């Protein structure tokens, strides 16, 4: 997908850092920088008015934290963290980030990141878009084996790098060589719903939803005591499906 253009937002509180990143980005014609933000408020406003494919996101934005922007970034938008610190890497991949780059960003390192991003998008575009129905089984690689799996047995799905972790209704966990986006393209829309960048749930298994911290929600599923966290931006979607 070499001809694809990624409309891109750069979020960093330092003007010099944004300028340095743009100079590294410049040779990569697939990146189209359409906006910059130096704080979370301006970044949220820009995301609310523009369709963005890619966000380069610093973590330490003065007294603000870049992770607080995640819930305002659409699930289909890729995130590349750009930071001077390496201690947030694990958390970055827990929110399904495309990559985690340390400053100063090297051209060769960015090239590898963009190559993986283009490969991921090409794979997603090539996925069979035919929707599954209730009761259908899907043939997938689970753990180290290929097997048929009935989608009605899914309790929820969690992003796990290029994989996804399937938690079944009976509590089993299986690692699947399939991204969350691929699942979203295939699963029945009336039966499954994304509640977070990193989570898709079986709507039929929702027991209750409670307001929680910072405008987020806790979703309780049948057969599981521990709730899942739902971003505010997905509440309206699941409310319509449950209604």
| Token digits of residue 21 | 């990143």
Q: Which of 214, 223, 227, 220 is nearest to 242 (CA)?
A: 220
Boundary of a domain, candidates 85, 105, 126: 126
Q: Listing from the earlier edge strand, what are the strands of the sheet with 145-150?
A: 145-150, 137-142, 173-176, 163-168, 154-160, 199-202, 192-196
Question: What CATH code is carried by the domain that includes residue 34?
Answer: 3.40.50.2300
| Token digits of residue 112 | 């590898």
The verdict on 18 and 102 lying in the same domain is yes
The verdict on 143 and 186 lying in the same domain is yes
The verdict on 114 and 144 lying in the same domain is no
* Domain total of the chain: 2
The verdict on 122 and 22 lying in the same domain is yes
pTM: 0.57
Run means of pLDDT, 10 residues per run, the chain, 243 residues: 79 96 95 96 92 94 92 87 87 81 94 86 57 84 76 93 87 87 88 92 95 89 94 85 79
Q: Which domain holds residue 155?
A: 137-242
Q: Is residue 204 part of a domain?
A: yes
Q: What is the pLDDT of residue 179?
A: 83
The verdict on 116 and 189 lying in the same domain is no
Boundary of a domain, candidates 75, 107, 126: 126
The verdict on 121 and 11 lying in the same domain is yes
3-state DSSP call for residue 11? strand
The verdict on 11 and 117 lying in the same domain is yes
The verdict on 95 and 23 lying in the same domain is yes
3-state DSSP call for residue 141? strand
The verdict on 167 and 208 lying in the same domain is yes
């Amino acid at each position: 997908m070499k001809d694809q253009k990624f409309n891109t937002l750069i979020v960093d509180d330092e003007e010099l850092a944004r300028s340095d990143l743009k100079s590294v980005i410049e040779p990569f014609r697939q990146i189209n920088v359409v906006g910059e933000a130096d704080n979370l408020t301006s970044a949220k406003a820009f995301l609310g008015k523009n369709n963005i494919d890619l966000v380069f996101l610093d973590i330490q934005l003065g007294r603000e934290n870049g992770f607080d922007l995640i819930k305002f970034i659409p699930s289909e938008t890729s995130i590349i963290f750009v930071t001077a610190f390496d201690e947030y890497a694990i958390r970055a991949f827990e929110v399904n980030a495309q990559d985690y780059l340390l400053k100063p960003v090297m051209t060769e390192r960015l090239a590898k990141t963009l190559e993986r991003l283009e490969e991921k998008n090409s794979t997603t575009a090539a996925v069979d878009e035919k929707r599954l129905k209730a009761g259908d089984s899907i043939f997938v690689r689970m753990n180290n084996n290929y097997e048929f799996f009935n989608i009605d047995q899914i309790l929820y799905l969690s992003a796990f790098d290029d994989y996804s972790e399937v938690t079944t209704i009976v509590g089993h966990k299986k690692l699947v060589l399939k991204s969350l986006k691929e699942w979203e393209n295939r699963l029945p829309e009336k039966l499954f719903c994304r509640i977070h960048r990193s989570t898709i749930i079986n709507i039929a298994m929702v027991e209750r939803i409670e307001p929680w911290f910072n405008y987020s929600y806790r979703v309780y599923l049948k057969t599981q005591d521990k709730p899942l966290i739902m971003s505010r931006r997905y509440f309206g979607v699941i409310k319509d499906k449950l209604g």
